[in-house]
């Protein structure tokens, strides 16, 4: 029997007859001929986001042309070339047209696109940083594909410091609580729909401080008016070998008229241990309290006052009386002056009381300050 055409055919039988019977034709019977369903094989291996474009190829027992399309997922296709646009599951469709007695056919291929590994670079600034000042850590997540999104967690060793969201692939965190000394800082990127998580290479961060002390027994000195007091203040880096920032010095509690001079006034950044000298010039007229015994000048004044009336009566007795009167009047003035001085007047003779001053010296480096006090006594 020859091949029947595709579709619904009408079949009937014809009897050709014999010596006894004539020919005859049967009734018609409909018969459907269906095309052959092609067998299409279509598979695609798994990929990673960022892989180069690749081609796909389905096989079939039919000779019909095969076309491809994306059913779902982050991919595009041109002809048989597939370009990945993201991570996740991708479904492709292979479609074959009918040909040679075969029907049209389709088949799908499902494959997984793994997340890409981004680059993550961490930097700290400034390094070294001064204690109580901010140290800022910046993590940059990048890829040639797209810009990673998500967040970054910063850690000091195994201790989390805080997290920050990526903005255009950059996340920053400022810390003011790191202890003096060396630290190992890392950044952990959380990942997103297209990128896997990744930890940066550790970066070292040094936090430094400085100490300000008074040298030995030199924290207390006594000088005379017009003299000079000298105090020594050792300044040393802490947490490192040099000062990360300049340190300047000031003094409070210095009496008016006293002249304080620091040498040096400022220790430069990068300096090692340095001793700072504070010289205080005490003025010759340094104010000092004085005390007297009450009534200590009264005998002289009283004697002069008793003689005054007698001298007035003897005024005409000659030169001797005049000279004696002048002497007594002078003694009276001296006594009165001394009495005024003893009562808090214009200077005086008495017992000097030493004056003691507390002077605070402060070193300032950025936002960091340290202070120490010394005592100055003027005798």
Query: For the segment 148-180, what is each residue's pLDDT rounded down to a tens digit?
Result: 999 999 999 999 999 999 999 999 999 999 999
Residues 100 and 243 in one domain: no
Residues 195 and 126 in one domain: yes
pLDDT recorded at residue 74: 98
- Give whole-number Cα distances, 74 to 48, 172, 196, 198, 312, in Å: 12, 31, 16, 22, 130
Quote the domain boundaries for residue 296: 289-352
- Look at residues 190, 209, 228 and tell me which one is the last residue of a structural domain: 209
- Look at residues 87, 114, 141 and tell me which one is the last residue of a structural domain: 114
CATH number at residue 145: 2.60.40.10
pLDDT recorded at residue 305: 53
Mean per-residue pLDDT, 232-239:
94
pLDDT of 318 strictly over 80: no
pLDDT recorded at residue 10: 72
pLDDT of 325 strictly over 60: no
Residues 162 and 146 in one domain: yes
CATH number at residue 249: 2.60.40.2310
pLDDT of 83 strictly over 70: yes
Q: How confident is the model at residue 11 (pLDDT cuts 50, 70, 90)?
A: confident
Residues 187 and 331 in one domain: no
pLDDT recorded at residue 345: 40
Residues 312 and 277 in one domain: no
Mean per-residue pLDDT, 130-151:
95
In the numeric block, which tokens belong to residue 258? 């006293």
- What percent of the chain shows pLDDT beyond 90? 65
Q: How confident is the model at residue 349 (pLDDT cuts 50, 70, 90)?
A: very low
Residues 46 and 182 in one domain: no
pLDDT tens digits along 91-102: 999 999 999 889
- Look at residues 148, 177, 209 and tell me which one is the last residue of a structural domain: 209
pLDDT recorded at residue 316: 46
The partner residues of 109 in beta bridges, in order of sequence, read 92
- Number of structural domains in the chain: 4
CATH number at residue 29: 2.60.40
pLDDT recorded at residue 256: 93
Distance, CA of 362 to CA of 374 (rounded, Å): 11
> Dihedral of CA 160/162/165/169: which sign?
negative
pLDDT recorded at residue 2: 57
Q: How confident is the model at residue 73 (pLDDT cuts 50, 70, 90)?
A: very high
Q: How confident is the model at residue 184 (pLDDT cuts 50, 70, 90)?
A: very high
Q: How confident is the model at residue 121 (pLDDT cuts 50, 70, 90)?
A: very high
pLDDT of 198 strictly over 60: yes
Residues 156 and 180 in one domain: yes
Lowest mean pLDDT, pick from 51-60, 263-272, 347-356: 347-356
pLDDT recorded at residue 24: 87
**239: CB partners within 8 A, 6+ apart:** 128, 131, 180, 181, 182, 206, 207, 208, 209
Residues 21 and 96 in one domain: yes
- Give whole-number Cα distances, 149 to 86, 171, 201, 287, in Å: 13, 10, 19, 72
Question: Does residue 169 contact residue 142 with C-beta atoms inside 8 Å?
Answer: yes
- What percent of the chain shows pLDDT beyond 70? 79
Residues 83 and 6 in one domain: yes
Residues 110 and 128 in one domain: no
Residues 156 and 110 in one domain: no
pLDDT recorded at residue 323: 53
Comparing 213 with 340, which gets the higher pLDDT? 213
pLDDT of 221 strictly over 80: yes
Backbone dihedral region for residue 295 (phi beyond 0: left; psi -120 to 50: alpha; all else: beta): left
pLDDT tens digits along 259-315: 999 999 999 999 999 999 999 999 988 655 433 444 444 444 454 455 555 544 544
Q: Average pLDDT of the chain?
A: 85
- Give whole-number Cα distances, 285 to 227, 230, 249, 256, 348, in Å: 11, 19, 27, 11, 14
Comparing 378 with 299, which gets the higher pLDDT? 378
Residues 246 and 367 in one domain: yes
């Amino acid at each position: 029997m020859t091949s029947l055409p595709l579709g619904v055919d009408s079949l009937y039988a014809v009897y050709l007859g014999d010596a006894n019977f004539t020919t005859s034709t049967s009734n018609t019977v409909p018969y459907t001929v269906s095309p052959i369903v092609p067998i299409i094989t279509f598979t695609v291996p798994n990929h990673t986001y960022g892989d180069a474009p690749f081609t796909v190829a389905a096989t079939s027992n039919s000779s019909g042309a095969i076309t491809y399309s994306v059913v779902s997922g982050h991919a595009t296709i041109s002809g048989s070339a597939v370009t990945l646009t993201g991570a996740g599951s991708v479904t492709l469709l292979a479609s074959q047209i009918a040909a040679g007695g075969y029907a049209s056919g389709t088949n799908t291929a499902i494959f997984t696109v793994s997340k890409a590994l981004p680059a993550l670079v961490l930097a700290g600034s400034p390094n070294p940083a001064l204690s109580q000042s901010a140290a800022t850590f910046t993590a940059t997540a990048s890829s040639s594909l797209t810009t990673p999104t998500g967040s970054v967690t910063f850690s000091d060793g195994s201790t989390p410091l805080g997290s920050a969201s990526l903005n255009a692939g950059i996340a920053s965190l400022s810390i003011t609580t790191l202890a003096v000394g060396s630290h190992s800082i890392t950044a952990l990127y959380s990942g997103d729909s297209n990128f896997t998580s990744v930890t940066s290479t550790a970066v070292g961060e040094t936090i430094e401080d400085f100490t300000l002390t008074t040298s030995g027994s030199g924290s207390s000195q006594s000088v005379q008016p017009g003299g000079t007091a000298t105090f020594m203040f050792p300044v040393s880096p802490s947490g490192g070998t040099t000062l990360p920032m300049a340190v300047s010095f000031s003094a409070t509690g210095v009496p008016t008229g006293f002249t304080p001079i620091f040498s040096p006034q400022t220790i430069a950044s990068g300096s090692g241990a340095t001793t700072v000298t504070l010289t205080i010039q005490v003025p010759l007229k340094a104010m000092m309290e004085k005390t007297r015994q009450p009534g200590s000048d009264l005998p002289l004044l009283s004697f002069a006052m008793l003689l005054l009336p007698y001298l007035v009566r003897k005024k005409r007795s000659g030169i001797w009386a005049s000279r004696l009167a002048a002497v007594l009047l002078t003694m009276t003035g001296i006594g009165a002056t001394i009495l005024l001085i003893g009562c808090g007047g214009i200077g005086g003779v008495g017992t000097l009381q030493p004056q003691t001053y507390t002077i605070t010296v402060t070193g300032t480096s950025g936002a960091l300050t340290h202070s120490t006090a010394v005592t100055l006594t003027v005798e």
